[in-house]
Amino acid sequence: MNSASIAEKLSLWIEERVAAAGSKGVVLGLSGGMDSSVVAVLCQRAFPRKMLGVIMPCYSHNQDIEHAQALAQKFSIPTKTIVLDGTYDTLLKALTREKAAPDSRLAQANLKARLRMLTLYYFANRLDYLVVGSGNRDELAIGYFTKHGDGGVDIQPLG
């Protein structure tokens, strides 16, 4: 099976899942990485006029943002950019006011993933879209995702 055939089948699968849910389209996070880029193009093929890519930097590298924007421009993907730095800072400050336990990098990283999930579902609810994740099968198999974060999606075409 060639890559074009696989892409066509995955795009059709996305269309079928959205139709089965009674939704109108798809929303996904654009990180600038390979997996989200592949999923974005699959979604664009399935829903060229009913999709939204959300770029959600949260102390992210400028290069990641630039890659996400370049992909969106090349494939005519409508986007919203929601900068989460301030929201993250406010929530982290409120959460760490009481030092019940030492803060950890994992807790902070998972907080970012969960803020992104909240943002995606906000747009999904407004537009009656499904949230599409970009996790792949290997990540799902070994549990390399944040529960109720990047793992909190409606469908996972690569998973």
Q: Domain-by-domain residue ranges, the chain?
A: 3-142
Give residue 52's identity as a one-letter amino acid code: L
Q: What is the structure's pLDDT at 65?
A: 97
Contacts of 96 (CB under 8 A, 6+ apart): 103
Number of separate helices (H) and strands (E) present in the chain: 6, 4
Q: Mean pLDDT throughout 98-109? A: 77
Q: Mean pLDDT throughout 69-94? A: 97
Average per-residue pLDDT in the chain?
93
CATH topology of domain 3-142: Rossmann fold (3.40.50)
Q: Catalogue the E-assigned strands of 17-103.
A: 25-29, 51-55, 79-81
Backbone φ/ψ region at 60: left (φ over 0), alpha (ψ -120 to 50), beta: beta
At 9-23, the pLDDT tens digits run: 999 999 999 999 999
pLDDT band at 128 (very low <50, low <70, confident <90, very high): very high
pTM for this one?
Answer: 0.93
Contacts of 109 (CB under 8 A, 6+ apart): 146
pLDDT band at 135 (very low <50, low <70, confident <90, very high): confident
Unique residue bearing structure tokens 């400028």:
62
